[in-house]
Amino acid sequence: MERLKKMGLRRSFFAVSVLCMAAALLLTYGIYQFCAKLYDRYPHYGIAITPDGVVTVLEEPTPEQERIMKCINRIQLLAVLIIPVSGLGLAGILFYHLKLKEPIAILKESTERLRMHQLDFTIPEVSADELGQVCAAFETMRAELLHTNQELWRQAEERRRLNAAFAHDMRNPVTVLKGYVDLLEHYVPERRISPEKELEIIGMLRGQIQRLG
């Protein structure tokens, strides 16, 4: 079995098919010979001629014996038809369980976990055949996706820190400007420019502060 697991899919399928067909043909031959010997135990119609030329009339079988002989013939025919086909079916079942069942189940489970964005798992090494190579390729893809997601998460965290730092650096000068504007509005002791011009300047300052905010 271990040797079959190490073979490629085509070679292993050929080997399993040959073994199953050989076993089926041997079984068919055994059943056929057993039925033939059993059939010869019953009397037959006709005559028998010995090497000496003596002619002997064979005993006729009874109706019960005829029914048994017909059943034996049917068994021989069914064995020839059914057992080789069953051997092929058995070869397919064995090939599926030995070579296909485990990697297909692993690939289905891995696909479902990848679809749900779960990357914290490992795809085991199944065999050295074609499906084993597919599983290895899935494992490589999973590792690359995990690395990419970790890199994207790191970049997102870096952007978040940069945005927070930028917002903090912008908040301080905006706050200072607001304080100075309030001083200009309420605590200017003497006016060297016209009130209209002062209001215009203050309005421009507030506009720029809002724009910065």
In the predicted model, is pLDDT for residue 47 greater than 70? no
Residues 143, 149, 151, 154: is their CA dihedral positive or negative? negative
CA-CA-CA-CA torsion for 34, 35, 41, 46, nearest 10 degrees? Answer: -140
Residue 213's pLDDT is 67
What percentage of the chain has pLDDT greater than the value 90? 19
Count of residues in the chain = 213
Residue 196's pLDDT is 72
Are the beta carbons of 47 and 55 closer than 8 angstroms?
yes
Are the beta carbons of 158 and 130 closer than 8 angstroms?
no
Are the beta carbons of 6 and 127 closer than 8 angstroms?
yes
The model's pLDDT over 86-125, given as tens digits with 9 standing for 90+, comes to 999 999 999 998 888 888 999 998 888 888 888 888 888 8
Identify the three-state secondary structure at position 181.
helix
